[in-house]
A and B are shown apart, each in its own frame.
Chain A
Amino acid sequence: MSEKRAAAYRLGLITLLILAVLTIAEFYVAVALESIVLLFIIALVKAAIIIQNFMHVTRLWREESH
C-alpha cells in the first residue's frame, strides 16, 4: 500500500473518531447542560470537519486534477 493511500485511509479513520466523540459530547451536553448555543457550536465544528476532510472543499481552488 502506498504511503499516500495509507495516509488518506488514516485521515478517514481519525475524522470518524473525532466525529463520534463530538456526537457523544453533543448528547451529554443536551442531557446535562441543555445549552442550545453549545449544541449549535458542536454541530458547526462537526460540519466543518466533514467539509474539510471528507468533502475536500479546498479542491475548489487548488490547481490539480485527481
Chain B
Amino acid sequence: MSAVTTHAHDSHAEAHDHEVPYEVQLKSNRLGLWLFLFSEIFLFGALFVTRFVLWGNTRPELSQEVGLFATSILLFSSYFMYRSEVGAAHGDQKTFLRSALIAAGLGLLFLLSVIVLEWNVFGLSGEIAGIEIFGHLKPSDGVYGGVFFAMTGMHALHVISGVFLILVIWWNGRKRRFTPERHWGVEGTAIYWHYVDVVWIFFYPALYLMGQPV
C-alpha cells in the first residue's frame, strides 16, 4: 500500500517537474497566434491584389454612407474589445464583461449591415434622408460582384468566428475563469478581433473609396 502511494506521489512529482512554466507557455501562445495571423495575410492579401488586378482604377457604385457606417461600427467594436482586455488584465470584472458583450453586439451589427444592407439578401429597397441604404450588387455581376462578395464574404466569416470567440470568453468570464495573472483566452481573442478590424481597414478603401465609380 505504502509502495503504491509512494509510486503515485513520484509520478505526480515527475509530471509537475515537466510542466511548462506559464510565462513560457504564454510566449508560445502569442507567437503561435501571430504566426497564424501572418499566414492569414496571404489569404486576405490575395483578395486585396485581385481587386486591383480586376477592377483597376474603377469600383462599383456602392453606398458611401453604408460603408462608413459599417467601418465606424467595427472601429467602436475594436475599442470595446480593448477595454474588455484591459478590464480582465486589471481585475475589473464589470468592465471586462460589459465591454466584451458590447464588442460582440457591435460585431453582430457590422455583420447585419453587410448582409442586410450591402448584400441585400432580402431584396429590399428604400432610402433614409435621401440616402440609398440597400445595395444592388449581385455575386453574378461580373468581376465587380465576384470580387466584392469574395472580399466581404471572407471577412464576414472571420467576423462570425470572432463574435463566437468573444461570446465564449464572456461566458467563461462570468464563471470567473480568468484572473489578472492568467487571461490568455481574453488576450488571444482581443488580438484576433483587432486583426479582423485591421483587415477591414484595408478592404474599406479598396472597395468603397479607391477608383472611379462605374
Q: Which A residues are closer than 8 A to B by beta carbons?
A: 2, 4-5, 8-9, 12-13, 15-16, 19-20, 23, 26-27, 29-30, 34, 36, 39-40, 42-43, 46-47, 50-51, 53-57, 59-60, 65-66
Please state if B205 and A26 are interface contacts (CB–CB under 8 Å).
yes
Known: A43-B205, A54-B190. A66 touches B86 (CB 8 A): no
Closest to A64 in B: B23
Q: How large is the interface on B (under 10, 10 to 19, 20 to 34, 35 or more residues)?
A: 35 or more
- B34 CB within 8 Å of chain A: yes
Residues of A within 8 A of B57 (CB): 36
Please state if A66 and B194 are interface contacts (CB–CB under 8 Å).
no
> Which of B5-13, B69-77, B131-139 is near enough to bind chain A?
B69-77
- B19 CB within 8 Å of chain A: no
Q: Which B residues are closer than 8 A to A by beta carbons?
A: 22-23, 26, 30-31, 34, 57, 64, 68, 71-72, 75-76, 78-79, 81-83, 86, 89-90, 92, 180-183, 187, 190-191, 194-195, 197-198, 201-202, 204-205, 208-212
Residues of A within 8 A of B86 (CB): 5, 8-9, 12
Residues of B within 8 A of A53 (CB): 82
Closest to A36 in B: B210
Q: How far is the CB of A59 from chain B (nearest CB, A)?
A: 6
